[in-house]
Structure 1
Amino acid sequence: MDHGARMQPPAESWAESPTQPPAKSPARVAVFVSGEGSNLQALLDRHKLMPSWPCTIALVVSDKPWCRGVRRAREAGVPVFAAEPRAFASKQVYEQAILAKLHEQDVDGIALAGYMRIVSSVLLQAYRGRIINLHPSLLPAFPGKSAVADALSAGAMETGVTVHYIDEGVDTGPVIAQWRIPIPDGIDIGTLTERVHHIEHLLYPVVVGEVAENWRPSRSRQP
C-alpha cells in the first residue's frame, strides 16, 4: 500500500462536513462587447494562464454579431449571445432575451468590455451590484464614448483607466479602481489610445478577479 496516498471522503460527506466547507466554485462571468474585444481577450488569456483566477468566462454577449469580439469568443469555445437590438420589439425585450441567456448559463456577474450600449433596469435589477465597466479616463472626468479624445482636446496633463460599478447613470457608478496615465506634450491620439488600452489589459483582469470573489457561489455547483 502506498502510505503517501490519502482517501478522499465521498462528495456528500465533504459537503456536509461542519469543519471542512467545500471550495467555492469559480464565478461565472458574462463579458459584454461591441467591437474589437481586446479586453475580452485579456480576460480569456488570464483564465487560460492562471488556473487560480477565481472566474470562468461563461458567456459573451454582443449587440454586434459580426464584431471581432464575437469571433474571439467563438475561437475560444465560449458560448455567445449576439443579436442586433433592432431585431427585437424594444430595448426591454432585447435585454429580457439577454437575461434569459444569462440565467441559462448560470451567470454570477457581468463585466462590460467595450459594450457601447447603456444597460437598462432589466439587467440592473437582476444583477444589482454585479455589473462592472471599464472606462478610458479618470472618472468622473471625461465620461462618455470619446473619453481619450476629450482628455487630449482639453489639454489635460493626465488621463487613465477606471473600473466602476454600473448604475442608472452614464459612467456614474462607484469607482472600484483607477490607474493614472500621464499625457506628454505633443502626443497624438493614436499613441495615447494605445497606452490606455495597454493599461486596460493589465488592470481589468486583476479587478474582475478581485470583484468576482464576492460573486462566487458559496457552495459547489452540481455537475
Structure 2
Amino acid sequence: MSAIQKIRLVVLISGRGSNLQAILDQAVSGELPVEVAAVISNRPGVHGLERARQAGVPALVLDHKRFADRPEFEVALIEVIDRQQPDLVVLAGFMRVLTAGFTEHYRGRLLNIHPSLLPKFRGLHTHERAIAASETEHGASIHFVTAELDGGPVIVQARVPVLPGDDPDVLAARVLEQEHRLYPLAIRWFATERVRLEGKRVFFDGMPLTEPLRLEETPLSR
C-alpha cells in the first residue's frame, strides 16, 4: 500500500492557537498527511506564533493595522500565502472578515471552524447567545469559506449538550474539546480527497451531502 501524499497547509490565526496545536500535533505524529508550510497571524505577539516556532514551522506576521483598508491587507495576505504554494488554507481563530476577492481566490480550498451549530449563531459570542436562547445543544462546525460570514457549506459538526448552570466559559471549554477532534478530521478528509466543494455543495466520498456529517456518527478511523 503506497503512502498517502502530504498536502501543503497554511494556517491563519489571530490568537492563542489551540486548534493550531491540535493540527500541529497530528502533523508531527503522522496522523495527518499534511506539511504545515506556514502559520500566519494578523496580530503580532500572539501565543499561536510560539506554538508554530516550537513545531519548527515558519511563523509569519502580517499586521492588518499597517494597511490602509481591508482590500489592501488582503492583497498582501494573498501574496504571503501564495508564496507557500498551499493546497489548503485553514482559518484557526482568524478574526478578520474576508472579502469576496479573497474567498474566491481560495474557493474550494479554504476552511474555517466556527463555535456553533451553523447556521445558528453566526458571528461572535456564540456561547453566550446559545445559553441566552435556552439551547439544549451546541457545538462546532467546519465549513468551506465563502464571502457570506460563516455562511459557507458545512462539512461536519460536533455537538455537545448545554447543561443547567453552564456559563459561557464552561460551555466554550466543552465545545473546544470537540473542536480539537473536528478540525484535524476535516483536514484529513480534504487531504485524502474524500471531501470537496463543487459549486455550492459539499461532496463526501463522491456523494453530495444533504446535511452536515456528525462527528459522533463518524469514527475517526474512517
* Partner AA of 1:44 in structure 2: L
Please name the residue that 1:136 is paired with: 115
Please name the residue that 2:68 is paired with: 89
Please say which of residues 32-41 and 119-128 is displaced more in the overlay. 119-128
Q: Per the alignment, do residues 24 and 206 of structure 1 end up closer, same or farther by CA in structure 2, a change over 3 Å counting?
A: closer
Alpha-carbon distance in structure 2 between the residues aligned to 1:117 and 1:214 = 28
1:47 aligns with 2:30: no
Instruction: Write out per-residue CA displacement over residues 21-44 of structure 1, whole angstroms, 9 at most, x where no aligned residue.
Output: x96631111111111100000000
Alignment of 1:65-80 (within 5 A): 65-80=44-59
Alpha-carbon distance in structure 2 between the residues aligned to 1:141 and 1:31 = 25
* Partner AA of 2:8 in structure 1: R
Gaps of 5+ in 2: 195-222
Q: Per the alignment, do residues 37 and 52 of structure 1 end up closer, same or farther by CA in structure 2, a change over 3 Å counting?
A: closer
Please name the residue that 2:178 is paired with: 199
Larger Rg: 1
TM-score normalised over the length of structure 1: 0.81
* Paired residues, number: 193
Quick one: which of 11, 32, 56 aligns to 2:12? 32
Quick one: which of 153, 156, 159 aligns to 1:180? 159
* Partner AA of 2:158 in structure 1: W
Alpha-carbon distance in structure 1 between the residues aligned to 2:101 and 2:3 = 32
Q: Is the 8 A contact 2:104 2:146 kept in 1?
A: no
Q: Is the 8 A contact 2:37 2:86 kept in 1?
A: yes
Q: Looking at both structures, which has the greater relative contact order when contacts are Cα pairs under 8 Å and sequence separation is at least 6?
A: 1
* Partner AA of 2:20 in structure 1: L
Q: Is the 8 A contact 1:81 1:98 kept in 2?
A: no
Gaps of 5+ in 1: 1-21, 216-223
Alpha-carbon distance in structure 1 between the residues aligned to 2:116 and 2:38 = 27
Alpha-carbon distance in structure 1 between the residues aligned to 2:155 and 2:186 = 8
1:161 aligns with 2:140: yes
Q: Per the alignment, do residues 119 and 212 of structure 1 end up closer, same or farther by CA in structure 2, a change over 3 Å counting?
A: farther
Q: Is the 8 A contact 1:62 1:70 kept in 2?
A: yes
Deviation at 1:152?
Answer: 1.0
Alpha-carbon distance in structure 1 between the residues aligned to 2:172 and 2:3 = 40
TM-score normalised over the length of structure 2: 0.82
Please name the residue that 2:129 is paired with: 150
Deviation at 1:52?
Answer: 5.0
Alpha-carbon distance in structure 2 between the residues aligned to 1:52 and 1:170 = 31
* Partner AA of 2:152 in structure 1: G
Identity among equivalent pairs (%): 38
Moved over 4 A (4+): none
Q: Is the 8 A contact 1:136 1:162 kept in 2?
A: yes
Please name the residue that 1:213 is paired with: 192
Alpha-carbon distance in structure 1 between the residues aligned to 2:46 and 2:105 = 26
* Partner AA of 2:7 in structure 1: A
* Partner AA of 2:105 in structure 1: A
Deviation at 1:91?
Answer: 1.9
RMSD: 1.7
* Partner AA of 2:42 in structure 1: D
Q: Per the alignment, do residues 23 and 83 of structure 1 end up closer, same or farther by CA in structure 2, a change over 3 Å counting?
A: same
